[in-house]
C-alpha cells in the first residue's frame, strides 16, 4: 500500500510503478485503491470528469436501448448477493445510462452482448461518474475491436489462442486441432474480460488490475494459460468437438489466479503478439486491431510502457532464479541433506512462479502452420 501511494503521490505520477503493482501478486488490493489507480492506468483526468448522463434523453429513439435493457435485466448475478432490491435496481438504471452515454458520444462504437459485464464491474468499483469516463477510454482503446460493426477483429484476436498454446504445449494444441474444437469456447472470456464467467467478484477485479496494466491482447494470453493449466483434463477428454468444447467452456472457479497471471505475463514476454500476428490472421486484418495502435495509447499514458514493465519483471525473476541456483549449488556443499530439501523447495516454488517459461523456450523455435482457417462464426 505504501509503495502504491508513493507512486501515486510522485510528481509526475509513477505510472510504471503502478503497472508493476497491478501486475504483481495481489494486484491493487482494495477497491479504494483501484479508484485512484485505474484512472492513472487509463490516463483519465479525474479533475475534469463529465457530468452523469441524463437517462430520458439517452433512451429516446436509441437503437441499442432495448438490447441493453434486456442484457442489464439479466445481470442480477453480477451484483453482490444480499444487496437490497432498490439499490440494485438503481445501479441497473445507472448501468444502462453509462452504456448509452458512451455509445452516443462515440457513434463508431457498436454495442455487443457482454459489454455490460465489463461496464458493471467499473460501476461497482468506482461509481457512476468515474466509471463513465473510464469505460469510454477503455471502449476506444482496449475494447475497440469488439465494438466494430462485424466480428472480424474479434475472430482475429481469438486466433492468437492456438499459436500460444502450440508454443508451450504442442500435444494439447494438436489434440484440440484434431477435435476441431476451434476457439469459440473462449469468446465470452475475451469480450467480458472474464467478468461473465467468474462468480467471485474479487477474482474479476484482480484480473481487471492485470489487464488494465497490460497490452490489449493480454486477456487472450490469460485464456491460453487457463487451457494449459487444464492440460490433463483436456487430454483425458474424448477427442471430439462437443466433448472438448463442453469441458473448456465450463471454466473452473477455483483457479490459481496469481500463478496463472504470472504465467500469462511470462508468455507475453517470450511470445509477444508481434511474433504471432502472421500466424493469427492476415496482415490487413491485423492493421485494424487495437493491438496495432497500442503504441499511440502508450504514448498518451505518460510514456509508460506496460510491455517494458512485463519484460523488466521477467528479467528480474530470471536473475532471481539464477541467483537461487547459485545458492543451491553452494548449500549442497556446505549444508546437510536435510537443509538441502528446503533449498529445493525454494527453487521449486520459483519454478512454479515462472510458469511454463522453460518449456516455452524449448518450443519457441518451432513454427505453427495453420492447417485450416478457423471458422468461428457462421
Q: Kindly state the average pLDDT of the residues 69-90.
A: 90
Closest CA to 267 of 316, 228, 230: 228
8 A C-beta contact, residue 68 and residue 96: yes
Which of 74-78, 302-306, 374-378 has the largest mean confidence? 74-78
Q: Place 295 in a pLDDT band, splitting at 50, 70 and 90.
A: low
Measured CA to CA, the distance from residue 303 to residue 46 in angstroms comes to 19
Instruction: Look at 74-78, 257-261, 357-361 and tell me which has the smallest mean pLDDT.
Output: 357-361
Enter the C-alpha cell of residue 200.
467471485
Q: Place 278 in a pLDDT band, splitting at 50, 70 and 90.
A: confident
pLDDT, residue 292, reads 59
In whole angstroms, how large is the CA radius of gyration of the chain?
Answer: 22
pLDDT, residue 48, reads 82
Measured CA to CA, the distance from residue 184 to residue 191 in angstroms comes to 11
> Does pLDDT of 368 surpass 90?
no
Q: pLDDT tens-digit profile of 97-150?
A: 999 999 999 999 999 999 999 999 999 999 989 999 999 999 999 999 999 999
> Does pLDDT of 75 surpass 80?
yes
pLDDT, residue 244, reads 95
DSSP label of 52 = P
Measured CA to CA, the distance from residue 153 to residue 285 in angstroms comes to 7
> Does pLDDT of 261 surpass 90?
yes
Instruction: Look at 268-282, 288-302, 324-338 and tell me which has the smallest mean pLDDT.
Output: 324-338
pLDDT, residue 284, reads 38
Q: pLDDT tens-digit profile of 197-233?
A: 998 999 999 999 999 999 999 999 999 999 999 999 9
Q: Kindly state the average pLDDT of the residues 357-378.
A: 32
pTM of this prediction?
Answer: 0.76
pLDDT, residue 90, reads 93
Q: Could you tell me the domains of the chain?
A: 150-287 (1.10.472.80)
Averaged confidence pLDDT in the chain: 81
Q: Kindly state the average pLDDT of the residues 341-354.
A: 38
Other C-beta atoms closer than 10 Å to the C-beta of 378 total 3
Percentage with pLDDT > 70 across the chain? 74
Residue 316 or residue 243, greater confidence? 243
Instruction: Look at 95-104, 155-164, 366-375 and tell me which has the smallest mean pLDDT.
Output: 366-375
8 A C-beta contact, residue 198 and residue 253: yes
Enter the C-alpha cell of residue 107.
457513434
Measured CA to CA, the distance from residue 355 to residue 308 in angstroms comes to 19
Q: Place 378 in a pLDDT band, splitting at 50, 70 and 90.
A: very low
Amino acid at each position: 500500500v505504501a509503495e502504491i501511494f508513493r507512486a501515486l503521490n510522485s510528481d509526475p505520477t509513477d505510472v510504471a510503478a503502478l503497472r508493476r503493482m497491478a501486475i504483481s501478486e495481489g494486484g491493487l488490493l482494495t477497491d479504494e485503491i483501484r479508484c485512484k489507480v485505474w484512472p492513472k492506468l487509463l490516463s483519465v483526468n479525474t479533475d475534469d470528469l463529465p457530468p452523469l448522463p441524463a437517462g430520458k434523453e439517452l433512451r429516446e429513439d436509441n437503437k441499442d436501448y432495448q438490447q441493453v435493457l434486456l442484457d442489464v435485466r439479466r445481470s442480477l448475478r453480477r451484483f453482490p448477493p444480499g444487496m437490497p432490491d432498490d439499490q440494485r435496481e438503481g445501479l441497473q438504471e445507472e448501468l444502462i445510462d453509462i452504456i448509452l452515454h458512451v455509445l452516443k458520444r462515440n457513434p463508431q462504437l457498436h454495442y455487443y452482448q457482454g459489454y455490460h459485464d465489463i461496464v458493471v464491474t467499473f460501476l461497482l468499483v468506482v461509481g457512476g461518474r468515474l466509471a463513465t469516463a473510464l469505460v469510454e477510454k477503455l471502449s476506444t482503446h482496449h475494447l475497440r475491436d469488439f465494438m466494430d460493426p462485424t466480428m472480424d477483429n474479434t475472430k482475429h484476436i481469438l486466433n492468437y489462442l492456438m499459436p500460444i498454446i502450440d508454443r508451450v504445449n504442442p500435444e494439447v494444441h494438436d489434440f484440440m486441432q484434431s477435435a476441431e474444437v476451434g476457439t469459440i469456447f473462449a469468446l465470452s472470456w475475451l469480450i467480458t474480460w472474464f467478468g461473465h464467467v467468474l462468480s467471485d467478484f474479487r477474482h474479476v477485479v484482480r484480473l481487471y488490475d492485470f489487464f488494465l496494466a497490460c497490452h490489449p491482447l493480454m486477456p487472450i494470453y490469460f485464456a491460453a494459460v487457463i487451457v494449459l493449466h487444464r492440460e490433463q483434463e483436456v487430454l483425458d477428454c474424448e477427442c471430439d468437438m462437443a466433448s472438448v468444447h463442453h469441458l473448456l467452456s465450463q471454466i473452473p472457479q477455483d483457479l490459481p489466479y496469481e500463478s496463472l497471471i504470472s504465467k500469462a505475463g511470462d508468455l507475453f514476454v517470450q511470445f509477444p503478439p508481434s511474433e504471432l500476428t502472421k500466424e493469427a490472421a492476415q496482415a490487413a486484418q491485423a492493421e485494424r486491431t487495437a493491438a496495432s495502435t497500442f503504441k499511440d495509447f502508450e504514448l498518451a499514458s505518460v510514456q509508460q510502457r506496460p510491455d517494458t514493465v512485463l519484460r523488466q519483471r521477467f528479467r528480474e525473476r530470471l536473475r532471481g532464479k539464477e541467483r537461487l541456483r547459485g545458492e543451491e549449488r553452494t548449500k549442497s556443499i556446505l549444508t546437510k541433506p536435510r537443509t538441502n530439501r528446503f533449498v529445493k523447495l525454494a527453487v521449486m516454488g520459483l519454478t512454479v512462479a515462472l510458469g511454463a517459461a522453460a518449456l516455452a523456450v524449448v518450443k519457441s523455435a518451432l513454427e505453427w502452420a495453420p492447417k485450416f482457417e478457423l471458422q468461428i462464426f457462421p
